[in-house]
Amino acid sequence: MTRVTYLVWSVLVLTVIINGISGQEYKIELSSSHVTWRVENKNKSISVAATVPGGIYTDLQNAGIIGNVLDGFNDVLARWVAYDSWTYETKFQVRPEYLEHAASILVLEGVDTVAFLEMNGRPFGLTNNMFVRYVFDIKQYLKAGENELGVRFMSPLEAANARSEKHFTAPQCVPQEYHGECHANQLRKMQASFSWDWGPAFPSVGLWKNVSIEFYNGAIIRTVTTHINRDKFHWYLKIVAHLESGVKKQKVKGYLSAKLSVNAHQSLTIGKHIELWTRDDGKIEAELNMTIHANVISLWWPNGYGEQPLYDLEVGLMNEGESHVSRKQVRIGFRTIELVEDDASTALGNTTGGQGLTFYFKVNGYPLFMKGSNWIPSNILPELGADKEIVDHLLMSARDTHMAMLRVWGGGVYESDYFYQKCDELGILIWQDFLFACAMYPTDAEFLETVQVEIEQNVNRLQHHASIAVWAGNNENEVAIRGNWYNTQPEFDRYKSEYIKLYVDVIKPIVERLDPGRRYLVSSPSNGRKSEEDGYIALNPYDAHYGDTHYYNYIADNWDFNIYPQTRFASEYGFQSFPSLKTMRSATNKSADFSLDSDYSKHRQHSPNGNNNIEVQITRHLRLDKNDTDYFRKFVFFSQISQAMSIKAETEFYRQSQADWFTMGALYWQLNDVWQAPSWAGIEYGGKWKMLHYFARRFFAPVLVSPRLTLTGDVDVYLINDRFVPIIDAEIIVDVFNWSSLTPILTQSYPANTEALSSTKQASLDIWKKENKEEILLKFSLKCMGVESPPNYIFPVPLKTVKGLSTPNIRVKLRRLDVSSEDENRFVVTIKTDAIVLFFWLESEVDGHFSDNGLILTEGETQLYFTTKVSTNKKTIQRGISYSYYMH
């Protein structure tokens, strides 16, 4: 154990900044806000201003060469862009004194993807991995005065095809319905940029992250990783500074220090002299250990379970003989996290569920149920994915619906630093897939070499975030081999051994070396440890007794709890719906497009048989005639109802199953969208919440009364409690309503109790059997001092067959919340009805957000809030408000 030294930090701070740049004496920023970039195509017929960070589709759109990429059929109309080759060029000035430093390092934070680099006409490097930070020593290519950097991109489609010729690996191509491109798996590039079942193909090229040149002597700190352990009285913080001294072996000599600010008045400081030889690549790590009394630190908790205190940690390296300090600042949270895979019988006894292993996250010593969703890139163009406003909106939407975990899915990108910082702040844990999804991957030397660098850099970059919970090697590739998704069965042994080579032999040891505190799962879904024991390709990777599962069923009745198989942890499940007409209108205004049979609709539905699957679900429960003059609008609306009800049923089934299967996670597919098209998302492209996302706030509520209609026709009622205190002496109130009246015909109450952090079956009710099932609905609520739980409902028969549902008289009134000026964008919406209303759905022309929506109205008057994005007068808003509901 190292003694903590309390030094005065200001000694270091004084000497930190020269030219306003920490870390190196000079830095030339080469983003387009600092220098001018141009991009031209191969035959030079196009030459336009370019953006860095940026990408070719953004640039051509800005130049008016192509239309808005997400309009109409532009994804295929602009496909020629991806077949051409593009060169990005800039000119910049280098002052002679810059060149006096030992290192002149070009840093490309992100190059998408295959490119050849030239400085002043001399080639000096090439890139082939979008997820790698490239660092080149360009001292010999630079001159004082004007220099010219050129980045020649190869067509990603040609690059992928060329590699596939040599290193083919399945699948042959994506389904035709995707209107996509083949062999994305050959490139270390966002896999979804060649199309997905929820997204268009935009095989981008460009410098999608920052570019700069650093001039320095000695070494700089590139990244900082932190390793946190605790005992009863202390936290042990190991800080690893990852140093770079250029790109060749060198000696690093200096003073390394770290300061942890524990509160406004107190910081802990530690430091030591270092004298180290780097490896041949100029890199070396140096460590500092800090011991912190437990009582000066507050625990970091996932959203819904507590606060998210974060502490600034500043690490500095003062090179001997130099006047500057290279600094790196990170914000860390103190928490422990474990993925527990123990004998399940310890939790469930000698039952069917008790066979196999548990699979749950224990945070700060408590087993916590992980509620959440799956994250896909926030934009199909990678350069736009870090947009703060969009990231904020999506993550806050997750936070506001009680989500504690998002899975960053393997077909996207390692997200921006900002994304993970925001997750740290909001308490959103991240299940981070490595970026391999739904395909077999090559294992030739060139591929494996760049993958190693990718894994190392990204683990080091993200490792310090409190939000990162677990790493997973890939999305669905174990199940794909076992299930022969890509016709790999004839070569099973080859594919299995390549799979093991990539995810087990290459990736696993890197992750475990750099981040020993977190679990690395080889695949998602998998049987976890059991898959590993079974040689990595389990006989049934969906085994309910192990690990996580993905479950999709488009045929059985998705509103029925009883169709869903048990699981320890549901990391994907979902159902499609259409985006709202308002969102669709941002992609097309041709009225002929607004029909299921239009070429436009067919073009945007990438899921084979997708619209039929939606229709099957809708028509099981809701009445919708094909000859209805309002068919398309209703189909869109009903698809959102059906999706919301399906995901509600499945999610509540998983939450209930904590009681008898120790199910401990429900992450539905998917949080967000990349374009205006039918998809599994709960939030539309542009940010509008679908009915599903409003439902999520209720079905993920920390305390929930959750009834289940069983196969025998009983209603099992569960009380779910995600709080640290038990619920004692509560009452579950059941109101039985006749569809034709707002007054319950019967009200009963049942005593309810449950432990902390648990789900308990309370009662099996058969009260409604006496009644005529078509004529009633059941409303469940919880009565308990100081505990809130949203109401819940049982519809005993499919809604299309209920009797007595009548057309309501509805009045919606808007009133400005007459308080402080801060709330000038907030309005009270009062809804009055004289009959029961199903799925009452408010929409607004003015951009804004309702506090609740998609409601079952069983009371004469309901109030909620509407908050507009920008301030607008009340009349305009009132005029733009419309509503829908289900009626047959």
Ligand X SMILES: *[C@@H]1O[C@H](CO)[C@@H](O)[C@H](O)[C@H]1NC(C)=O
Q: Is 457 exposed, middle or buried (0-12, 13-18, 19+ CB in 10 A)?
A: buried
Q: How far is the CB of 149 from ligand X (least distance, A)?
A: 15
Q: How far is the CB of 872 from ligand X (least distance, A)?
A: 16
The three state secondary structure string of 698-759 is: HHCCCEEEEEEECCCCCEEEEEEECCCCCEEEEEEEEEEEECCCCCEEEEEEEEEEECCCEE
Q: How far apart are the first and last CA of the chain?
A: 72
Residues sharing a CB contact under 8 Å with residue 146, sequence separation 6 or more, in sequence order: 91, 92, 93
- Residue 195, CB-side half-sphere exposure with 13 Å CA sphere: 25
- Regarding 244 and contact with ligand X (CB under 6 A), the answer is no
Write out the catalytic residue numbers.
Answer: 476, 572
Binds ligand X (CB under 6 A): choice among 139, 238, 331, 620: 238
Binds ligand X (CB under 6 A): choice among 177, 287, 560, 847: 287
Binds ligand X (CB under 6 A): choice among 150, 517, 702, 804: 804
Amino acid letter for position 497: S
Binds ligand X (CB under 6 A): choice among 146, 307, 625, 729: 625
Give how far Cα 140 sits from Cα of 24, 250, 652, Å: 19, 18, 63
Q: How far is the CB of 216 from ligand X (least distance, A)?
A: 18
Binds ligand X (CB under 6 A): choice among 314, 515, 722, 775: 775
Segment near ligand X (CB under 6 A); pick from 54-62, 565-573, 710-718, 737-745: 737-745
Residues 135-174 that bind ligand X (CB under 6 A): none
Helices (H) and strands (E) counted in the chain, each on its own, are: 20, 46
Segment near ligand X (CB under 6 A); pick from 156-164, 216-224, 430-438, 623-631: 623-631
- Regarding 872 and contact with ligand X (CB under 6 A), the answer is no
- Regarding 619 and contact with ligand X (CB under 6 A), the answer is no
Q: How far is the CB of 464 from ligand X (least distance, A)?
A: 16
Task: Show the site string, 210-229: x = touches ligand X by CB under 6 A, - = not.
Answer: x-------------------
Q: How far is the CB of 44 from ligand X (least distance, A)?
A: 8
- Regarding 41 and contact with ligand X (CB under 6 A), the answer is yes
Segment near ligand X (CB under 6 A); pick from 166-174, 620-628, 666-674, 680-688: 620-628
Calpha distance 17→776 (Å, rounded): 72
Give the nearer residue to ligand X in terms of CB position, either 161 or 210.
Answer: 210
96 phi/psi in degrees, rounded to 5? -55, -35
Rg (CA), the chain: 29
Q: Which among 826, 822, 825, 832 has a CA at the least distance from the CA of 860?
A: 832
Tokens of 428: 């959103």
Binds ligand X (CB under 6 A): choice among 6, 80, 168, 552: 80
- Regarding 40 and contact with ligand X (CB under 6 A), the answer is no
- Regarding 350 and contact with ligand X (CB under 6 A), the answer is yes
Calpha distance 589→261 (Å, rounded): 55
- Regarding 609 and contact with ligand X (CB under 6 A), the answer is no
Binds ligand X (CB under 6 A): choice among 295, 627, 809, 871: 627
- Regarding 743 and contact with ligand X (CB under 6 A), the answer is no
Task: Show the site string, 550-589: x = touches ligand X by CB under 6 A, - = not.
Answer: -----------------------------------xxxxx
431 touches 472 (CB < 8 A): yes
Q: Is 318 exposed, middle or buried (0-12, 13-18, 19+ CB in 10 A)?
A: buried
- Regarding 29 and contact with ligand X (CB under 6 A), the answer is yes
Binds ligand X (CB under 6 A): choice among 738, 844, 853, 858: 738
Give the nearer residue to ligand X in terms of CB position, either 47 or 323.
Answer: 47
- Regarding 633 and contact with ligand X (CB under 6 A), the answer is no
Give the single-character DSSP code of 770.
G
Give the H or E element holding residue 243: strand 234-244
Q: Which among 596, 684, 670, 603 has a CA at the least distance from the CA of 79?
A: 603
Q: How far is CA 884 from the centre of its chain?
A: 31
Segment near ligand X (CB under 6 A); pick from 39-47, 534-542, 557-565, 643-651: 39-47
- Regarding 236 and contact with ligand X (CB under 6 A), the answer is yes
Chain residues binding ligand X by CB under 6 A are 2, 29, 31, 33-34, 41, 43, 45, 71, 80, 84, 210, 236, 238, 287, 289, 350, 585-589, 625, 627-628, 738, 740, 745, 771-772, 775-776, 804
